[in-house]
Chains A and B, each alone.
Chain A
Amino acid sequence: MAQAVALPYPLPSRRAPYHGGVRLDAASDEWLAGRAARGDHAAFEQLVLRYQDRLYTLALRVTLNDADARDCVQDGFISAWRAMERFRGDARFSTWMYRIVLRKAYDVLDRRKRQATPTDEVPGTAVEAQLDSRLDLDAALAALEPDFRAVAVACDVLGLSMEDAGEALGLPAGTVKSRLYRARARLAEQLQDERLP
C-alpha cells in the first residue's frame, strides 16, 4: 500500500488567490465588500464564489425554475456591483444580497402572474419518483405560497436566524416566526397526504 508522504508546504487551493499578500478566501465579507466598492474585481469575484450557491438556492426555491433562478442571481450580483458604493455595511453583505436576489425573484413571479403563463416544471417532481421523500419535500415546498416558501428556505434550508431572515426578507422577526410555523405545518400536512395509501 502506498504511504502518504507529508509535503513540506501545503498545496495551494485552486480557489485561494492571493491579493497584495492577502488570501482572499480567508478575508471577511466586510473587507472584500470594501475592496469591491473601490472597484476591485477579484474581491467581488470572491464574494460571488462565496454566496452563489446560497443565493441560487433561494432564487430556485422561490421561482421554481432553473433559468429564472440563474437570471435572478446574475442580475442580483450585477445590481450589487453597481450599487457597491452605496453599501455602507449597516447590514451584512449576505443579508443585503439575499434581499436583492429575493426582490428579483418576486419580480419574476409578478411578471408570470401578469402574463398568466403556467409555471414550468418544478425541479425534482418526476411522477415516478413520488415515493422519494426528498422529491416529495420539493413538491410540497413548491406548493407553498412564495412568501411562506421564502421564509422556510431562508430559515430551514439556508439556516438563517429569525432576525437575519427578517432583515433579508424585509419582515419583522415576529412575522418570520409565524410564517415559518405555518409553512412547516402546511409542509407536514402535504407530506402526510402524499404518504397516505
Chain B
Amino acid sequence: MTDEPDTHDEIARLLRERGPVEAPPDLARAVMDEVRRAPRRTPRHREVARRATGWAAAAAALVALGFGISRIDVGGGSFSSGSSAGGSAVGGEARALQPDQLNSAADGVKTAPTLRPRRAYRLSVTAAKRLLGDRYSQADAADGRIVLILDADQYRAYVRRFRGHVVANGKSSSGAGGRITVILRRAP
C-alpha cells in the first residue's frame, strides 16, 4: 500500500530534504537592472491628484504673497497716532514684535514659536519605557502621550531608536499594558 501515513511521511521527508534550489547567481542583479529601468505605473487618479495639489499649492502661495504685499506699510500712512516720518518708524517696529515675543524677551525665556521637525510613534507602554529609559515620565504617560523636546543630536538618536523598533516589530506590534503616543520634537 502506498497511501499509508508512514509512506506519506517518508515522501514528505524526502521532499523536505530536497529543500529550495539555489537561484542562478546573476538572477538578483538581472532583476534589479530591469527594476531600475522599469518605469513604475502610477494610477491615473493619483497623477491627477498630484497635479491638482501642485496647482493648489502654487495658488495658495500666490494668495499669501498678495496678502503680504497688501499689508506692507509704505511710509506709515496707516498710522494715525504717529507724528510725521518718525511716527511711522516707531509704528513699524512695534508691529514687528508680537506680544508673545515681547513677553518672552522681557522674561528672558525663549518661547520657541516654531519647533521644527517632529515624529510621533504609537506603541506599547512597555516598549515606550524601554526606548525612553530615564526620559519616560509616568505623569505624562497618564495623559496618553509623552512629548520630548530634544536637541539635534538627541533627536536623531531617539528617531533612530524608535525607527529600529518599528522596523523590528512592524506597525502592528502590540504589547501588554496599553498603548501610548510618543512625540519627538527637535528644538530649533
Question: Can you list 26 A-B contacts with CB-CB less than 8 angstroms, sorted by A residue number?
Answer: A21-B163, A21-B164, A28-B170, A30-B170, A49-B28, A52-B23, A53-B22, A54-B20, A55-B23, A56-B24, A57-B20, A66-B24, A70-B24, A73-B23, A74-B27, A77-B31, A77-B34, A78-B31, A78-B38, A81-B35, A82-B38, A137-B15, A159-B16, A184-B7, A185-B3, A188-B8
- List chain A residues, Cβ under 8 A from B171: 30
Shortest Cβ distance from residue B35 to the other chain A in the assembled complex, whole angstroms: 5
- The A-contacting residues of B in range 11-36, CB under 8 angstroms, are 11-12, 14-16, 18-24, 27-28, 30-32, 34-36
Q: Does B160 contact A (CB under 8 A)?
A: yes
Among the stretches A5-13, A37-45, A113-121, A161-169, the one at the interface with B is: A37-45
Cross-chain contact A39 with B40 (CB below 8 angstroms)? yes
| Tally of chain A residues near chain B (CB < 8 A) | 51
Q: How large is the interface on B (under 10, 10 to 19, 20 to 34, 35 or more residues)?
A: 35 or more
Q: Given A21-B160, A81-B35, are A187 and B11 also a contact pair (CB < 8 Å)?
A: yes
- The B-contacting residues of A in range 102-120, CB under 8 angstroms, are none
Nearest neighbor of B41 in chain A, beta-carbon distance: A82
Q: Does A22 contact B (CB under 8 A)?
A: yes
Q: Given A22-B163, A184-B12, A188-B11, are A53 and B18 also a contact pair (CB < 8 Å)?
A: no
Nearest neighbor of A156 in chain B, beta-carbon distance: B15
Shortest Cβ distance from residue B173 to the other chain A in the assembled complex, whole angstroms: 10
- List chain B residues, Cβ under 8 A from A30: 170-171
